[in-house]
Structure 1
Amino acid sequence: MPAVACPIPDCDYVTEDLDDVIVAALLTAHGTTHTQGPTAAAKIERVRRPVISAAGTSEEWEYFLSR
């Protein structure tokens, strides 16, 4: 199969003269370079610390210690 150019305008990527299955795979893999957008880092939710009041019961204190 002859060399095939990327169908995206202004892209200079051209495959080599290879088998048609390989050319299709190369163009598919190359297409991912056109679809990648900016990646935003996910905001990590902080783990809340357990809280106990000074006027808590003994059951609340045991629960606090078990966490």
Structure 2
Amino acid sequence: MAARTGQSPGALSTAARGGQLPPLEVALAYAEACGGDRAEWEHRWRAAEAGLGTAPRGGAGGPSSPSPGPSRSP
């Protein structure tokens, strides 16, 4: 799959493992390699990003970090 997508095996493995939103380009390459529609999966990725409250760094497809959680009152 790495050869087909142009993404590193590690990036694809991390995306498949879940737990965090992968960079957009990795997610799109993975989806396309599995027969998914690029536009549909970009829309899904952006919705997931918005739901997580993340802001990409370094442009599209760059790493994202979660925003701090809400403060808790005692």
Q: Does the alignment reach a TM-score above 0.5?
A: no
More helix by share: 2
Relative contact order: is structure 1 or structure 2 higher (C-alpha 8 Å, sep ≥ 6)?
2
What TM-score comes out, normalization by structure 2 length? 0.27
More strand by share: 2
